[in-house]
Structure 1
Amino acid sequence: MSRAEENLKRLEEIVGRYESALVAFSGGVDSSLALAAAVRTLGPERVLAVTSDNETYLPSELEPAREFAESLGVEHLIVETRELDNPDYARNPANRCYFCKSTLYSDLARLAAERGYACVIDGANADDEGDYRPGRQAARELGVVSPLSEAGLSKEEVRELARHLGLPTWDKPALACLSSRFPYGQKITPEKLQQVARAEEYLRSRGFRQVRVRHHGEIARLEVGDDELERAFAERKEIVAGLRDAGFLYVALDLAGYRSGSLNAALKKRGKRTLPVLG
């Protein structure tokens, strides 16, 4: 038995503890695998995929999510959430994700109870347990099931298994909500979110795959994959023009390249890996 087959068996055993499931489905590789595993184990008629369409979600991600859920034959609901209505979220504290996930998972748990689903499943993997991720606390408090993490699957193993199953998202670049582009303490507004979304959509239209536009006021700090750094520098004039059109005054290319959760570096420098939940 291959490693992928062993991982799949372990994952299906975890999901198989439940009679039915509502899956928090963003459309990324992690939640796609969680959804596919639930459908394989429980059957499409006992699974509901739910995508949150909100100001922090890239609009271009919605249609691919619809198509993927349809390909599995599973019912797909799109719910609208407005994180920015919560001032604790909008002021962007270090535990911002706690407020987002607490609201989202509460809504999903209520929907699951109303529709008769036994649990709420998310796509957190084992690597997510290692970084500073306050949203994981909200998931634990609300009893969300994280089968990829429970199975001990790293991001690399998630991609490997998704590829084994033939999922089209297996090599999809990592995405995160647009609020992750802002340094902690910088207030998040709809206008700023739209600015980042326009900038990143522009870069993806130019063929860049792994992209983050970090919002530092008038400055856009651009992170791209290591294999795309040279091309980004070569196309700097066009990129500057595009990001200025998006509303930035200055554009900086980060020579360290893309790093997941790069803005957490400020927390680590200040020794704030463990933070209290602010009410």
Structure 2
Amino acid sequence: MDTSRLKRFAQYARRYLREQVTTKLGVVLAENSAARRENTEAIHKLTENIEVSGKEQVIEQVAYTWFNRFCALRFMDSNRYTSIGVISPAEGQFQPEILAEAKMGHIDEDMVSAQIQGQIFDLLSGTAPSPDAQGEAYRLLIVAVCNYYYEVMRYLFERIDDYTELLMPDDLLSGNSILAYTREAMTPENCQSVEVIGWLYQFYISEKKDEVFAALKKNKKITSENIPAATQLFTPNWIVRYLVENSLGRLWMLNRPQSRLFEQMDYYIKSEDDPPNPPSKGGSLIKNT
């Protein structure tokens, strides 16, 4: 896995998304903004959260929410867990497959409601005027997909019916968009392992983690919103296996000295207290387990 590419992307993505969300925040909170007229409840929730958590924390939360969703969808696309490419284009194409299909009149009725389908088709046909019809249609598709997967993966895809949608980045289709960089970093090869999600999270928060520890050196306390950046570090699979095999695995072998489980524990380190291994009978058969 090319972790250096993932690190560059994740750190860039955090800075870019924070900048985009900050810009959108200024637009939607402007005194006479369209959002204030058309999304009164969402704006109310947004201002409430800013009052409670602070503007910086809201920006951080929304930026990470979209980063998390985009990366998850790309991972699902690459492994064909999605029925159609949501972030990814079909082979030989540039635009995301779901948008290309919508332009040809094909939208999954189970995934996108009839009302949203109507809005998308109106945008793509020019019936509904828009300075960025395809971009707006694609954003509607993204929101619909996230809400669809909310039903089966609520821990990842929270339902989007609030200010999170209002603060979605505008440019999702150009060659310099955040999704273009997502596809470039999350190659099919990198997406073969689910660990790519863990590495992306760790790299995404790495700069904030450095800021937190730099503040600690100046005797500044870690606030509650900064605790995750300092403590929630990704643990690679081999470390998990090392810890499990040399704790639970060792206990198993001490209590079942005839077991051949050790043959499947690549990170197990024998100690002087371990009983002698039973003679092998071929293969990796586990006895007395």
- Give TM-score scaled by structure 1 length: 0.26
Q: Is the helix fraction higher in 1 or 2?
A: 2
- Larger Rg computed on CA atoms: 2
